[in-house]
Structure 1
């Protein structure tokens, strides 16, 4: 049975689509499906941020087909695991949890404790696109080992 994993950030144009693209490639040999969403609706239908796409492309990840969408309460029933990029995203996700739903929601960085990071910084603001990729790759490796 395929495990369905959703990555969630604020706008779904930097961190979560990057995690989706990295996980799709790194997890290609696993029975997994990946998607991403944002807690806000600011960028619905937009592709990932250009600078993030360029940084990802340099490492062989193609984010261009991805489009932003907003996280919805129905995602709790669609996915087996929901991974938030930071504590604020996690709180926003939990606010939409339907009563009685038990789908696990965790911080993505929990899968890479060796990094010492408790969140994935938003490169839209930090401009640290390569560092974001480094962290996403480390978290994805940990995730794939844990599943």
Structure 2
């Protein structure tokens, strides 16, 4: 069983989408996926309604997810930790106690060949931003799923 954690800032926009998208592409008996935020602003809340809507437009239901904060124990609980941007990367790495924990942390978009390494935060943008973010995350999750489904 491979355990994957998706991480963004608030765990309401990007990482819930990444959790839902990757879950839809892998076998649940082989891969578990969760998400968290580096900030504890929205603990216990559902994802942003715009993330829920864009996921629903693509046939995914992420409405039952609840936001939680990333914690250092996540290094032990998860095999792979994908972060959405360089700020998330730095915040997660700052909690790593060992080199092995640091090796688990990766920028999500490095898995896709999109020419960019950061998923922009769509929070302050319109619905088009959420669709763009969905497409970026979907590309990266397809590449991740292809690797995970082979193992």
Counterparts in 2 of 1:7-86, with a 5 A limit?
7-28=6-27, 31-86=30-85
How many corresponding residue pairs?
A: 145
TM-score (norm 2): 0.91
Classify the secondary structure of the residue corresponding to 2:53. Answer: helix
Q: Unpaired runs of 5+ in structure 2?
A: none
The worse-fitting range, judged by mean Cα deviation, of 27-36 and 85-94 is: 27-36
Classify the secondary structure of the residue corresponding to 1:20. Answer: helix
Classify the secondary structure of the residue corresponding to 2:124. Answer: helix
Residue 135 (1) aligns with residue 145 (2): no
The worse-fitting range, judged by mean Cα deviation, of 54-63 and 24-33 is: 24-33
Classify the secondary structure of the residue corresponding to 2:81. Answer: strand
Separation in 1, partners of 2:62, 2:54: 10
Counterparts in 2 of 1:82-97, with a 5 A limit?
82-97=81-96
- Kept in 2, the 8 Å contact 1:39–1:89? The answer is yes
- Alpha-carbon offset, residue 90 of structure 1: 0.4
- Kept in 2, the 8 Å contact 1:76–1:101? The answer is no
- Alpha-carbon offset, residue 100 of structure 1: 5.3
Q: Which residue of 1 aligns with 2:119?
A: 120
The worse-fitting range, judged by mean Cα deviation, of 115-124 and 74-83 is: 115-124
Separation in 1, partners of 2:104, 2:121: 23
Separation in 1, partners of 2:96, 2:131: 33
- Alpha-carbon offset, residue 145 of structure 1: 2.0
Separation in 2, partners of 1:30, 1:86: 29
- CA offset digits 1:31-76 (Å, max 9, x no partner): 1000000000000000000011111101111011100000000000
Q: Which residue of 1 aligns with 2:111?
A: 111
Q: Unpaired runs of 5+ in structure 1?
A: none
Runs of 4+ residues deviating >6 angstroms: none
Q: CA RMSD in A?
A: 1.4
- Alpha-carbon offset, residue 116 of structure 1: 1.1
Separation in 2, partners of 1:116, 1:136: 13
